DNA sequence: ATGTTC
């Protein structure tokens, strides 16, 4: 029997807590399901469920378990407070957290969405093969780096008026398609059609608008990227064929969010909801869990503003996709003709949505908070576009820089186990600070280059912060959700070139 | 993630 104990970061002072093993807290349900019992902390309304393999459990922080337990104390939570295999410490709610709250008796919390509202990812396929692209890869990446503004505080070459910003907040990708960015088909291949109704720009502050206006069509920083990839392996030929994927094919992936706009909207409303938590007498185990009753004006104002940021983020990824398509056209269309650059799908990783789920055999409406988690709806779900209704929803899981990304597919089991949710990515294991002090950007770049992966980034330190070794293995995380059955593996994608913020 | 320490 292997004894797995919890290892704290070095800077953390030794205390009696360091003696606690995760086995002292968690109850094993099956190989990939561990329960935080309802008695772990006084005030938990439901147990926690952490979906990890034995190995991933060994690197799970105790604080992440505490965050799962804290969320279980919030009013109106349904079934379980959950954490996906890529879970790690976040603001209030863990990243990788999934929690559903009753529409009438539950709460809405910005901490359950995160600062980067609708951070998400989209995958675009092409008709090109790996060997078509390799000879021109360097030039392609240079041109992409030129076309797509990256980095903190980067500004777009797209100028939108104040009135257009309202239109973007309300109509999302529909605005972009009407403007000539992308095509109508793209709308169907975004989660929620790239536009959630109910967004209200009057709930967005002047400051958030000011930050958001110049940033539409910018990649941002951190783990955000634009990656040129190829399909390395197909796990399910039938599903892959519906998604238009085959071995050797070149794809590109865009991972980014709502930039300064979403960040400011979260900051603004956190302030209001911190007051509201007191006003409505909600006992908070952690002030970062600030929230309000779902139907209160405070919670609804946040929700309506959050939807503005969500719609903005879809447009952001859409505009970046448009410019990327243009660069591919410029580089390859003369030689290869129609490049077939169809959007496979676009998923949100940080969002709260009002959805219908079955709880205790009854259909009920809940606010599902997914923070670093992906919707993974089942075959036949009415929210899916016609062409994917038979397969289930494509679930796009980006890897960390230089590692594999995955395409999975939603299942019936995800609806039963995890409110139609799966994991979102690799999950950090080393802080940005540690990564910067322990790793050197140029060395990481060199190591990736030896693996045939070219990186373009504004600063070498950013490469160090996002090095492969600072993340959990994406394949390990994906195997857990596949083995649990909450999403099914379809294809593995390997990077050829990365544009970093 | 983030006008990276309101």
| Strand B within 7 A of A263 CB | yes
Bases of chain B with protein Cβ within 7 A: 1-4
Q: How far apart are CA A94 and CA A89, in angstroms?
A: 5
Q: Please state the pTM of the whole predicted model.
A: 0.95
Grouping H, G, I as helix, E, B as strand and the rest as coil, residue A18 is helix
| Strand B within 7 A of A222 CB | yes
Q: Closest Cα to residue A123, out of A405, A501, A434, A353?
A: A405
Residues tagged in the binding site annotation of A:
116, 223-227, 255, 349-350, 398-401, 405, 424-427, 500
β-strand pairing of A81-88 with A107-108: unpaired
Indicate if A322 belongs to the active site.
no
| Token pair in block for residue A289 | 């869990």
Name the active-site residue from A269, A424, A440, A482: A424
A305 burial level (CB within 10 Å; 0-12, 13-18, 19+)? buried
Angstrom distances, CA of residue A57 to CA of A10, A65, A329, A429: 19, 10, 45, 13
> What H or E segment, with its residue span, contains residue A16?
none
Q: Closest Cα to residue A349, out of A64, A67, A98?
A: A98
The position carrying tokens 């993340």 is A471
Residue nearest to nucleotide B3 (CA to C1'): A153
CA A345 → C1' B6, Å? 38
Give the residues across from A27 on adjacent strands: A35
Per-residue pLDDT of chain A (501 residues; tens, 9 = 90+): 333 334 333 333 444 455 677 888 999 999 999 999 999 999 999 999 999 999 999 989 999 999 999 999 999 999 999 999 999 999 999 999 999 999 999 999 999 999 999 999 999 999 999 999 999 999 999 999 999 999 888 899 998 999 999 999 999 999 999 999 999 999 999 999 999 999 999 999 999 999 999 999 999 998 899 999 999 999 999 999 999 999 999 999 999 999 999 999 999 999 999 999 999 999 999 999 999 999 999 999 999 999 999 999 999 999 999 999 999 999 999 999 999 999 999 999 999 999 999 999 999 999 999 999 999 999 999 999 999 999 999 999 999 888 999 999 999 999 999 999 999 998 888 888 888 888 998 899 999 999 999 999 988 888 999 999 899 889 999 999 999 999 999 999 999 999 987
> What H or E segment, with its residue span, contains residue A398?
none
């Amino acid at each position: 029997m292997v004894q797995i104990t919890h290892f704290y970061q070095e800077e953390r002072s030794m205390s009696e807590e360091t003696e606690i093993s995760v086995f002292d807290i968690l109850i094993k349900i099956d190989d990939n399901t561990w329960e935080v019992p309802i008695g772990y902390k006084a005030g938990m309304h439901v147990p926690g469920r952490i979906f990890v393999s034995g190995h991933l459990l060994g690197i799970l922080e105790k604080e992440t378990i505490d965050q799962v337990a804290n969320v279980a104390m919030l009013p109106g939570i349904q079934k379980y407070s959950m954490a996906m295999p890529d879970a790690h410490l976040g603001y209030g709610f863990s990243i990788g957290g999934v929690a559903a709250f009753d529409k009438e008796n539950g709460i809405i919390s910005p901490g359950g969405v995160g600062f980067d509202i609708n951070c998400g990812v989209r995958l675009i396929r092409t008709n090109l093969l790996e060997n078509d692209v390799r000879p021109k890869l360097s030039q392609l990446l240079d041109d992409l780096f030129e076309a797509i503004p990256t980095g903190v505080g980067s500004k777009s070459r797209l100028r939108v008026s104040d009135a257009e910003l309202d239109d973007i907040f309300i109509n999302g990708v529909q605005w972009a398609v009407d403007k000539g960015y992308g095509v109508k088909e793209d709308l169907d291949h975004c989660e929620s059609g790239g536009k959630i109704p109910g967004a209200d720009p009057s709930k967005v502050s002047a400051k958030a608008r000011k930050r958001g206006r110049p940033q539409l069509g910018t990649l941002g920083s951190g783990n955000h990227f634009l990656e040129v990839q190829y399909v390395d392996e197909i796990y399910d030929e039938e599903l892959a064929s519906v998604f238009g994927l085959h071995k050797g094919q070149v794809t590109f992936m865009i991972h980014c969010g709502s930039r300064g706009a979403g960040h400011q909207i979260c900051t603004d409303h956190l302030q209001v909801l911190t007051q509201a938590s007191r006003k409505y007498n909600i006992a908070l185990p952690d002030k970062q869990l600030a929230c309000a009753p779902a139907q209160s004006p405070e919670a609804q104002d946040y929700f309506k503003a959050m939807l503005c940021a969500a719609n903005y983020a879809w447009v952001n990824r859409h505009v970046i996709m448009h410019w990327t398509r243009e660069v591919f056209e410029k580089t390859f269309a003369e030689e290869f003709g129609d490049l077939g650059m169809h959007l496979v799908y676009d998923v949100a990783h940080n969002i709260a949505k009002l959805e219908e789920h079955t709880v205790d055999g009854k259909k009920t409406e809940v606010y599902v908070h997914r923070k670093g988690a992906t919707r993974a709806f089942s075959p036949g779900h009415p929210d899916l576009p016609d062409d994917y209704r038979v397969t289930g929803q494509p679930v796009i899981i980006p890897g960390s820089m230089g590692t594999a990304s995955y395409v999975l597919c939603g299942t019936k089991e995800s609806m039963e186990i995890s409110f139609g949710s799966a994991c979102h990515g690799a999950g950090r294991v080393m802080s940005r600070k540690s990564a910067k002090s322990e790793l050197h950007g140029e060395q990481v770049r060199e190591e990736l280059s030896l693996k045939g992966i070219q990186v373009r980034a504004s600063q070498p330190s950013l490469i160090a912060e996002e090095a492969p070794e600072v993340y959990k293995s994406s394949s390990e995380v994906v195997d857990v959700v596949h083995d649990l059955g909450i999403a099914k593996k379809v294809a593995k994608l390997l990077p050829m070139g990365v544009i970093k913020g």
